Each structure stands twice: as C-alpha cells, then as structure tokens.
Structure 1
Amino acid sequence: MGLLDILGGRDRNAQREPEEEAPAAAESTTSSSSREMLRDPAASLGGFEPPNRLYDPYADISTAMGGRRAAFQLPEGPEFVFQEEAAARRRGWTENLQFYTGIGYLGGGATGFAIGGYRYLNLPADQAFSTAKLKANRLINTSGSLGKRMACSSAILGLYFSTSESYIGYLADGRVPDEACTVAAGFFAAGLFRSVRGPKAAAIAGTVGAVAAGGLAAARQYFPSL
C-alpha cells in the first residue's frame, strides 16, 4: 500500500503541475495582450486613418489592478467610411449654401440691430417719448428696421457667394487654386448684388467683394471651418 500510495501521490502531483501552469500561462498571455495597444478597426476603413492619440481607461487604477494597462488608439480627427469623403477639400454646395446664408443673416441682423441701437442713443431727447414703454418701442423700431434690412441683404450676399464659389470650384476642378476661386466668387457675388445700380456700381462693389473674399481666403489658413 505504501508503494501504491507513493505512486498515486506522484501521479496526482504530475496532474497538478499542468493545472497550476495553465492559469499562469493564461495570466501571462492576458497581461501581454492587455499591454498591446488595441487599434480601432473603423479608423482603417476606406484607406484613410486620422491621427491617433493614446487613451488608457485604467490610468488611475492601474496599480490596484496589478499594473495591467490597455492603451487604445483613439482618432483625433473625423473618421470617414468612404475615401471620397476623406479626400474632400471643401463643403458640398448645399452645406456651403446653408452655412453662408445663415451666417450672413445672423451676422447682418446682429450688426444692424447694434447700429440701430447706437443711432437711437444719439437721437435728441423728445418729450413725447418720456415713458419707458415708448422709449423701448422706439428702440425696437429703430433697431429692428435696420437689422431686418441688413439681415436680408447679408443673407442674399451669402447666397450669391456660396453658389458662385461652389460653381466656380466645380468648373476649376483643382486646376485653379481654391483661393482664386474664392476671390472670383466674391467679385461675382458683390457685383451681382449691386448690378441693379449700374455697371459702375457693380464694378466697385465687385472689387470690394473680391478684397473681402481674399481676406476670407487668408483667414481659412488659420480657421479651416470658414
């Protein structure tokens, strides 16, 4: 019996050794795989991969978890499914139309309201508008009328400019720099806006519009979303 017990004990120890080695191997495999940086598969779709940054969700509790860390590569820029969207250099003509028309309306309205308020403050005092209600009504009428006119005019300018820029850029098809297309669109939009007052007024307005569009093209170097 002693010999059988010894032999049986050896067999049990031989069976325990692989069982004890299996968790250690699994732990080493898990720790080694957890240290590897996991890449987001969506970033490689369409052949476009934006710049990435490392993100560790267990940075603050890595010590408590036994030093295991998993660093994910998160994209810093927008991700695109199709390569055509990633290679686009400008907004679409519908997005351009909405952007500049809306910005023109809001900016023109705010500017007109501010100018109207400034003119109201410079008006001479009138005894007929002595109450606060009448003063507020006069302020709203003075600022609102000018703000409405400037908002509509700026929205029309934005409509002309966005349409012209998209169409000229479509015709150029990359053969002409984008800055030149922007300047040409500014000249055409301002000239068309003032064309009802004659050729001379249209030419002067076109020159002013071209200068303003050149400033916009220069600002896009620092603010690409414009």
Structure 2
Amino acid sequence: MARVLVVDDDHTVREVVVSYLRAHQHDVVEAVDGESALSAMREEPADLVVLDLMLPGIDGIEVCRRLRTISDVPVIMLTALGEETDRVAGLEVGADDYVTKPFSPRELALRVDSVLRRTVTPPAPRRLVDGDLVVDEAAHTAHRGGVALALTAREFDLLRFLLANPGTAYSRDDLLRQVWGWSVGDHSTVTVHVRRLREKIERDPTRPTRLSTVWGVGYRWEATDE
C-alpha cells in the first residue's frame, strides 16, 4: 500500500480520484490547495502526489517546484488546459507524468500504479558504469565524476535504460514504451527529459557526446572512453 496525496480544489474531482485510488488499495490523503499540500508533505511525506495545475493561491507549477526542493516524490500533474506548453511547464519543474482533464479515473489509477512500480519497488542490484558516470540501480543513485546527480525519477529511468543499451537508436515511441511503459504518449515528454538529462551529464549540453540525436530516428547512447 502506497500513500498518495491528491491535491485539487474541485471536490467532485477529488472525491472520484480518491475513491478509485482507494479501490486500488492506496492510502489516500487530500489537500484543497498548494499551501495545505506542502504542509501535508512536511508532516507526513507521501509516496506519490496527484497535483492539479490550476489551484487557488499557489498554482500546481509552483507547488511542484517547491516540492522538488524538499523531496523527489513522484508527481502526476492534472491539467484542464491540454496545451503542450502547460504539459512541458510541468515536466520542466520535475513532474513525472501528466493527465489532461477530463480524464478517466481508471486511467489515472493505472498511471499511479505504473509510476509507483517504477519508483517505489526496489530494483534488482546492478551497477552501470560508463567512464566517469556510475548508475547504481539498487541505491537508485547516479554519480558523475564522484558527484551525485540530482535526477527526477523519470530522468533516472531514462539514464538507466540508455546506459544499459549503448549503441542502439531508439525512437521517441520506443522510449515512451520501454522506459515508462506507455503505449501512447506525447513526444514532447521524451524531448524535455532528454534535454534535462543532457544538462546534467554532458560537458557541453549544446554539443552532446553521450546522449546523441539520431536524425529521423530518435536518440542513441554513445559509450565513452573517458
């Protein structure tokens, strides 16, 4: 059983989401705005946060940004806007997934289960090394040159997958499916996380040598001799 914090000022939406998540055997707590959500996380941290983008007072983007300063808890963003810029904004501040309103409560519950499987279930011990880059799957940590990298859960999954499969070109659809388990999804999800990952692992993110672009295909991990 995982502890899930649901943050939405719409009582009806909250009621439906909470009902479905409890049916999936999760311990669910609720918050009606950003301030109460942040307080709840400080008092008793959740394993995952379902966070509405449009909140009174502090909006969901700012709540996610503040959460990232105190926790790496997975965040699924809810948005009624459906615009790519809003989805990207959520990903930029560290959201792990998003669902656009109106949505199927069953789909949201399945997304929650999927994210929790990736981030809560302990992985089999494995240590991946490429030059000065070291990924410890069991500890869920990544280091470059001995310095710990601050990665979101989704960034870590992407790095781990690519590092374990060097030299193979993957399309954005491949990465959505094989890294995050999505049968469908927005390609901007991959694009944003590739860019964010490059900023953390490349000497010059504008001229990547590790996570390269394969034009017309997608991306490929280039093993390094560093």
TM-score of the superposed pair, with normalisation by structure 2 = 0.22
More helix by percentage? 1
Structure having the higher strand fraction is: 2
